[in-house]
């Protein structure tokens, strides 16, 4: 009896993940996946009332700000300098093809007009305007696709109950009803997929909040996220809309792309990321910050250099993945000058070298410290990323070479192929500090 009870309780506590079963992506969806796979570079935007405090998007949890205190923030949020066209143009000039913005982060505050809650930018801020509306319009004008980040976890809504492993010390939270919370999310997702035209995708985050975690490995999920209903709802409303979920697991049925937070696919340097064995076949996206923070952080000066940013695009592409590069706009609606400048430089690089990135797949050899390969048809692009060496070796290089020259100068590249692989000589005077690109045309 005891044993029976414990199995029963186990099943009650650890719900299996129920996905959108027998999901067959539509033609529009498959085309959208191909578009996504080709896009290679997007802008992530973390913006919310937390930006006011200049301490990142986790500030409510990190400083244990009570519900009552946090609710004062919207009354100060008045981003009079927000200009959707400027953001979209900045992204486009940087060579980005899409924008993913936080419609609602873990603090539970909706940055859009929602009838499902009063806790929104329209109803609670002096600004009173939906920011997704002008952004959607600007994106449409400029041919940039718009994706919505949507948090599954919520530190503000009592109905996010049972609570997860984070936000537990935030004062003022009460018990609520999980099923009501699921219905709320479905209502909001319906709004997001009805009121803003065609949406590129939904980017879920927070699943891991409901996973057991002993500091080293994750256990089972404690709740039923109703992904079967949520994913079906999204695909029914907009079949082309790509679903990604930052759960750090292998893709679940119903998802259309797989994302990797702050790690290249197959790497798990954070310790809580996706295992190499869970990397699937869906289009991939790596996300990373332009400094060290997602939401605006006043004291974060770890701005990545042009070289670091470009090389991360190249390495991501070498894994066949997009890079979703994040900025955290300031509370006035402007993006930090340092970041605007960095993106301008990246844009210059992409204009000159984008041919070696866009519409490519990962190359035949996985990226390493020295290099990354991208490939399109019979052409391979070998990106030399280590400017401290002159001799390079590509292990197990296979393929018959028709021509091999520097992408920029068109000069021939000294190389030798043996049964072990290819030796390449890149003398210092031929090198580019950021990326020496070699074009290899195969027979």
We find the least distance from the C-beta atom of residue 174 to ligand H79, in angstroms, to be 22
We find the least distance from the C-beta atom of residue 407 to ligand H79, in angstroms, to be 33
Nearer to ligand H79, 271 or 427 (CB): 271
Nearer to ligand H79, 221 or 440 (CB): 221
**Number of residues forming the site for ligand H79 (CB under 6 A):** 12
Residue 234 · residue 244 · CB < 8 Å: no
Give Cβ neighbours of residue 334 (< 8 Å, ≥ 6 apart).
81, 82
Range 40-59, binding ligand H79 (CB under 6 A): 46, 57-58
Name residue, tokens 């984008």: 354
Tell whether residue 219 is a contact of ligand H79 (CB under 6 A): no
Residue 94 · residue 344 · CB < 8 Å: yes
String marking each residue 164-183 x if it binds ligand H79 according to CB under 6 A: -xx-----------------
Give Cβ neighbours of residue 339 (< 8 Å, ≥ 6 apart).
290, 291, 303, 327
We find the least distance from the C-beta atom of residue 116 to ligand H79, in angstroms, to be 21
We find the least distance from the C-beta atom of residue 228 to ligand H79, in angstroms, to be 24
DSSP per-residue letters across 293-308: -SS-BTT---PPPHHH
Residue 149 · residue 139 · CB < 8 Å: no
Residue nearest to ligand H79 (CB): 272
What is the distance between the alpha carbons of residues 239 and 166, in angstroms, rounded to a whole number? Answer: 33
Helix axis angle for 84-93 and 132-142, nearest 10°, is 40
We find the least distance from the C-beta atom of residue 44 to ligand H79, in angstroms, to be 7
Please state, as a whole number, how many other Cβ atoms lie within 10 Å of the Cβ of residue 341.
Answer: 12
* Of 160, 164, 150, nearest in space to 210 by CA: 164
Name residue, tokens 């695909």: 235
Nearer to ligand H79, 213 or 420 (CB): 213
* Of 144, 109, 98, 111, nearest in space to 324 by CA: 98
> Do the bridges between strand 258-261 and strand 284-289 make them parallel or antiparallel, or are there none, so unpaired?
parallel
We find the least distance from the C-beta atom of residue 165 to ligand H79, in angstroms, to be 5
Nearer to ligand H79, 295 or 331 (CB): 295
We find the least distance from the C-beta atom of residue 143 to ligand H79, in angstroms, to be 25
We find the least distance from the C-beta atom of residue 294 to ligand H79, in angstroms, to be 4
Applying CB under 6 A, among 119, 208, 260, 406 the residue interacting with ligand H79 is 208
DSSP per-residue letters across 210-237: GEEE-SSSEEEESS---HHHHHHHHHHH
Tell whether residue 213 is a contact of ligand H79 (CB under 6 A): yes
Distances (CA, A) of 412 to 39, 158, 172, 423, 436: 30, 65, 68, 14, 13
> Would you give the distance in Å from CA 129 to the centre of its chain?
26
Tell whether residue 217 is a contact of ligand H79 (CB under 6 A): no
Nearer to ligand H79, 6 or 270 (CB): 270
Per CB under 6 A, which region of 205-213, 232-240, 364-372, 429-437 contacts ligand H79?
205-213
We find the least distance from the C-beta atom of residue 155 to ligand H79, in angstroms, to be 12
Nearer to ligand H79, 142 or 261 (CB): 261
Tell whether residue 205 is a contact of ligand H79 (CB under 6 A): yes
Q: Report the chain's terminal Cα–Cα distance, integer Å.
A: 70
Nearer to ligand H79, 158 or 261 (CB): 261
Nearer to ligand H79, 216 or 411 (CB): 216
Q: Which helix (H) or strand (E) holds 101?
A: strand 98-104
String marking each residue 223-262 x if it binds ligand H79 according to CB under 6 A: --------------------------------------x-
Range 257-286, binding ligand H79 (CB under 6 A): 261, 272
We find the least distance from the C-beta atom of residue 48 to ligand H79, in angstroms, to be 10
Range 312-371, binding ligand H79 (CB under 6 A): none
We find the least distance from the C-beta atom of residue 113 to ligand H79, in angstroms, to be 22
Tell whether residue 130 is a contact of ligand H79 (CB under 6 A): no
Helix axis angle for 84-93 and 337-353, nearest 10°, is 40
Nearer to ligand H79, 234 or 287 (CB): 287
Give Cβ neighbours of residue 109 (< 8 Å, ≥ 6 apart).
48, 49, 73, 74, 119, 120, 121, 124, 156
> Footprint of ligand H79 on this chain (CB under 6 A)?
46, 57-58, 165-166, 205, 208, 213, 261, 272, 287, 294
């Amino acid at each position: 009896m005891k044993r029976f009870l414990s199995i029963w309780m186990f099943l009650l506590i650890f719900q299996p993940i129920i996905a959108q079963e027998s999901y067959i992506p539509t033609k529009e969806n498959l085309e959208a996946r191909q578009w996504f796979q080709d896009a290679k570079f997007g802008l992530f935007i973390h913006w919310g009332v937390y930006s006011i405090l200049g301490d990142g998007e986790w500030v409510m949890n990190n400083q244990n700000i009570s519900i009552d205190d946090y609710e004062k923030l919207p009354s100060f949020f008045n981003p009079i300098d927000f200009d959707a066209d400027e953001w979209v143009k900045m992204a486009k000039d940087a060579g980005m093809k899409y924008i993913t913005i936080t419609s609602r982060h873990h603090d539970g505050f909706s940055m859009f007009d929602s009838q499902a809650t009063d806790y929104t930018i329209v109803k609670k801020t002096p600004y009173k305007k939906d920011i997704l509306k002008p952004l959607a319009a600007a994106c449409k004008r400029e041919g940039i696709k718009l994706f919505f980040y949507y948090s599954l976890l919520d530190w503000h809504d009592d109905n996010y109950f049972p609570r997860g492993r984070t936000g537990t010390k935030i004062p003022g939270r009460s018990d609520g009803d999980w099923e009501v919370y699921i219905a709320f999310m479905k209502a909001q997702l319906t709004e997001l997929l009805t009121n803003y035209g065609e949406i590129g995708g939904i980017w879920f985050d927070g699943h891991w909040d409901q996973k057991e975690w002993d500091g080293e490995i994750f256990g089972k999920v404690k709740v039923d996220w109703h992904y079967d209903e949520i994913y079906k709802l999204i695909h029914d409303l907009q079949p082309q809309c790509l679903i990604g979920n930052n759960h750090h697991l292998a893709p679940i049925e119903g998802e259309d792309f797989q994302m990797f937070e702050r790690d290249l696919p197959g790497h798990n340097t954070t310790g809580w990321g996706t295992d190499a064995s869970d990397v699937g076949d869906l289009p991939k996206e790596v996300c990373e910050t332009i400094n060290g923070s997602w939401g605006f952080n006043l004291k974060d000066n770890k701005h990545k250099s042009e070289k670091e940013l470009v090389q991360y695009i190249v390495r991501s592409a070498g894994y066949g993945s997009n890079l979703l590069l994040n900025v955290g706009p300031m509370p006035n609606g402007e993006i930090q000058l340092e970041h605007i400048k960095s993106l301008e430089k990246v844009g210059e690089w992409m204009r000159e070298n984008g041919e070696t990135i866009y519409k490519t797949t990962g190359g035949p050899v996985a990226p390493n410290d020295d290099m990354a390969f991208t490939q399109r048809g019979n052409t391979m692009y070998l990106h030399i990323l280590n400017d401290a060496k002159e001799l390079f070796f590509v292990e197990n290089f296979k393929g018959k070479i028709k021509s091999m020259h520097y992408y920029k100068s068109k000069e021939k590249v000294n190389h030798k192929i043996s049964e072990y692989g290819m030796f390449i000589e890149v003398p210092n005077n031929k090198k580019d500090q950021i990326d020496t690109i070699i074009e290899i045309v195969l027979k």
